[in-house]
Amino acid sequence: MTAPAQARDDAALPAGTGRRIARGWRRARPHLLVALPILLAIAALGLGLASWRAAGTNARIAALESGRDLAVAPDAPAALLLARVRFLAQRGRLEETEPLVEAIERQEAVEAAARARYAVANARMRQAFALLTASDLDRAGPQVTLARQDYRRALQARPDFWDAKLNLDVASRLIRDYPDFDRRTGDELQAEPKKIWTDIPGQPRGGP
């Protein structure tokens, strides 16, 4: 049954088609042989350039993590922006972090955005605790409120971010311990994530 079918297929081709294909291949082959090394060289150059850029990015990230103060452009890769945010947050330079965090969010780098918000929130909480130790409630309140907002944004980007959930609970307990914080500073993000701890009768409020 297969032979007649093959014969019909061959008969369907115009006469001389096979010869024309063969002649076309013979004419094109020298050009392809010349173009192929060029195409391979271009591909290798592209891979080499990408590797060089990645190595440069990694080197700058390592420098920031070691404590070197390097400027980072807003259009830099998200990983490099995150390293810069962490560098600034660790040193309390929070006003400089916001444009970088927004740049990460514009890149839709969800993981990096969550970690950037978390780093900023932790820095605000450190400042708040220092101010509370100094009995400076007026300045501590806004830091706690802003920290809570950043923890929430981190959780919006990554709902399974357990460390952010835990620290959000700490910030929320501070709000409960110092109720004037909310009255003085407000809280623009009123929607709370689901409660982390269950209030059990007979246990301190919020205890596990």
pLDDT band, residue 190 (cuts 50/70/90):
very low
Whether the pTM exceeds 0.85: the reply is: no
Q: What is the pLDDT of residues 109-138, one digit of tens each?
A: 999 999 999 999 999 999 999 999 998 888
Would you state the pLDDT for residue 14?
A: 57
Question: What backbone phi and psi angles, to 5 degrees, belong to 189?
Answer: -110, 90
Q: What is the pLDDT of residues 27-45, one digit of tens each?
A: 766 666 666 667 666 766 6
Mean pLDDT of 86-114: 95
Q: What does the alpha-carbon distance between residue 198 and residue 163 come to, in Å, rounded to a whole number?
A: 18
Q: What does the alpha-carbon distance between residue 50 and residue 53 come to, in Å, rounded to a whole number?
A: 5
Count of CB atoms within 10 A of residue 42's CB?
Answer: 10
Q: Any idea where the domains of the chain sit in the sequence?
A: 25-69, 71-195
pLDDT band, residue 196 (cuts 50/70/90):
very low
Question: What backbone phi and psi angles, to 5 degrees, belong to 133?
Answer: -60, -35
Question: What backbone phi and psi angles, to 5 degrees, belong to 110?
Answer: -60, -50
Q: What does the alpha-carbon distance between residue 135 and residue 151 come to, in Å, rounded to a whole number?
A: 24
pLDDT higher than 50, residue 204: no
Identify the weakest region by mean pLDDT among 55-69, 76-90, 102-116: 55-69
Structural contact between residues 60 and 80, judged by C-beta atoms closer than 8 angstroms: yes
The contacts of residue 121 (CB under 8 Å, 6+ apart) are 146, 147, 148, 149, 150, 151, 154, 164, 167, 171
Would you state the pLDDT for residue 111?
A: 95
The contacts of residue 140 (CB under 8 Å, 6+ apart) are 127, 128, 129, 131, 132, 178, 181
Identify the weakest region by mean pLDDT among 99-113, 135-149, 156-170, 176-190: 176-190
Mean pLDDT of 153-160: 94
Would you state the pLDDT for residue 47?
A: 61
Identify the weakest region by mean pLDDT among 26-40, 65-79, 111-125, 142-156: 26-40
Mean pLDDT of 11-31: 62
Secondary structure string (H, E, C) spanning the chain: CHHHHHHHHHHHCCCCHHHHHHHHHHHHHHHHHHHHHHHHHHHHHHHHHHHHHHHHHHHHHHHHHCCCCCCCCCCCCHHHHHHHHHHHHHCCCHHHHHHHHHHHHHCCCHHHHHHHHHHHHHHHHHHHHHHHHCCCHHHHHHHHHHHHHHHHHHHHHCCCCHHHHHHHHHHHHHHHHCCHHHHHHCCCCCCCCCCCCCCCCCCCCCCC
| pLDDT > 90: percent of the chain | 49
Would you state the pLDDT for residue 42?
A: 73
What's the mean pLDDT when you consider all of the chain?
77
Q: What is the pLDDT of residues 163-176, one digit of tens each?
A: 999 999 999 988 78
